[in-house]
Amino acid sequence: MKIDYSSWSTRLLSIDNLKLDVKNPRFSYQSTKEMNQTEIIKYLIENHAVYELAKAIAINGYLLNEEPIVCKEGDSYVVLEGNRRIAACKILLNPYKFLSPQRAKELSKYDPIDDKIRCNIAPTRRDADTLIYNKHTGIPLQKWDKVSQDAFLANLLQSENLSAEEVAYKLSVPVSEIRKALRRHAIHQYSIKLFQSEPYELEQIQEQGFPITNFERFYDDERGLNFLGLAFGSNGEIQKRLPDEEFNRRFKFIVNQILSQDLTSRTFNNEEDKKEYFTTIQNFNKDRFDLDIQPSQMPLTTHSGDVSYNTSSEVQESEDGETSVKAKRTRKKSGLFADYNWGDTGVSKLDALFDSLKELAYKRHVDMAGIALRCYVDMLVYEFLRAKKCIGEINKEDAADAATHNDKKYNDLKQYIKTSYALSDEEINDEELRRFTKFTVTNKNNQIPELGNMIAYIIRHPELLDNNTRLVQVLEKFKKSNTHFIDLTACNMFVHNQYFSPSITTLETSVNILAPVLDMMYTAIKNEK
């Protein structure tokens, strides 16, 4: 039935005032009683990836071609089509109402969205039924085949001069998926190049639906990679580990195997199938390929096909055949320490870690930035105390504390044994029991103290910071639990707690607060060198 849109309208409506449709087929059958609005949102979070959708909207904005369909029922506008999207927007407007603190914190780091959204208003629910049904059961949009999807991603990488990580961030998908797509695209483009003189095969390769995933299944097996002499660069570019001629012979053979359906998901499925397949190709004559030619460990050449990649350098060939190297476009440093210059202490690992923090795009890699910041602070504090010749003293204090702790634990255990088994002191060999229970103090002279102990030592000895009260207070704050500042506990949780991540704001605030202390430590280390 043709839909009459003459009585429809379009308006900007407040997201808060939009009601999710309790009759929506996604969730109306989930409960014997009608769900309330909060229950619907939580159901969508748990079952229909609405948190992930909210994050995608926060990063990329709301897609203009996805305007919801609503109708007025009573005093409210009810969402007939677009319940997931509206639920995602409601979450972004009030994340702590619907999400765990950790997830809410993650979404809160993004810029706020508009609190109004443009909606298509149907006169009645019935007027919208046909459109909604056709959208979910018909074919108004055809899903791209895998080759087309891969080409889209490769083109995005090229046209916007992005890395695989940046494309993944832009599209809110795992970077591993992007890398797989770039590899498939490179393989497909190289196949087209190899079969230019064979029009029948070329037509099949270029057809929509060419089973590129069968090729992927082959090179995902290490034996397949070695047969092809194939490796991949960071952005999917083909790296050859065989001479060109032999590489091309083996590559064409696999493509022909796919076209003839000798290599399919059925013939190359489980381990038994794979063993049989590799045994078969071992018996082919040398007019197909020469297995006596072994692939090298390192790539001999790199081929990026028809796609330009953001590699460290690009080799360009001039008309006279000479080559030149075009340097990679340099990027502005945008890391946590972009405004500081502490990378010349002379301690190679410390300086390398600082340079990484200076260049790391922390707004996209908050977890990595948090872990790296914790490592840097730990290493800087240690080198500072080593320059001040305090490490030995700290280790002595740690050993004394450990001895006191172990003595208490040991005496409690000894008393328990005496009481339980009616033994006297003379009947217990203290040396043997301590050794057996490991309540002994190991030599700590050459150990690196824990960060907490090093910070505590500096606080007890403010002269190390030139008796600067403000700097001592910063370290005292670091030792305690804080809400808007990265403390010692938080640093440890970045590394060891899978559910705990820093926010962008917290990272930035913490660096600004810590900077004066870190600067003094950097200066002391550099002067000592």
The overall average pLDDT reported for the chain is 79
- Residue type at 509? T
- 54 sits in which H/E element: helix 50-60
**Cβ-contact 154, 185 below 8 angstroms:** yes
**One-letter amino acid of 210:** F
Strands (E), 403-462: none
Question: How confident is residue 170, by pLDDT bands cut at 50, 70 and 90?
Answer: low
Whole-model pTM? 0.40
What domains sit in the chain, N to C, each tagged with a CATH number? Answer: 9-137 (3.90.1530.10), 146-303 (no CATH), 348-528 (no CATH)
Q: What DSSP string describes 186-205?
A: HHHHHHHHHTTT-HHHHHHH
Q: Which one has a higher pLDDT value, 60 or 355?
A: 355
> Would the CA dihedral through 60, 61, 64, 67 be positive or negative?
positive
Averaged over 494-508, what is the pLDDT? Answer: 71
Instruction: Give the pLDDT score at 308.
Output: 32
DSSP of 333-344: --STTTT-----
Query: Angle at Cα 471 formed by Cα 470 and Cα 474, nearest 5°?
Result: 90
Name the pLDDT band for 483 (thresholds 50, 70, 90): very low
In angstroms, the CA 186 to CA 345 distance is 43
pLDDT (mean) for 55-73: 80
pLDDT for position 79: 93
Closest CA to 85 of 50, 112, 129: 50
CA 174 to the chain's CA centroid: 6
Confidence tier at 260 by pLDDT (50, 70, 90): confident
**Sole residue written with tokens 């029991």:** 433
Give me the pLDDT at residue 314, please. Answer: 35
d(CA 250, CA 288): 8
- Percentage of the chain lying above the pLDDT 90 cut: 19
Residue with tokens 């929506």: 24
Q: What pLDDT does residue 488 have?
A: 66
Q: Which amino acid, one-letter code, is at 145?
A: D
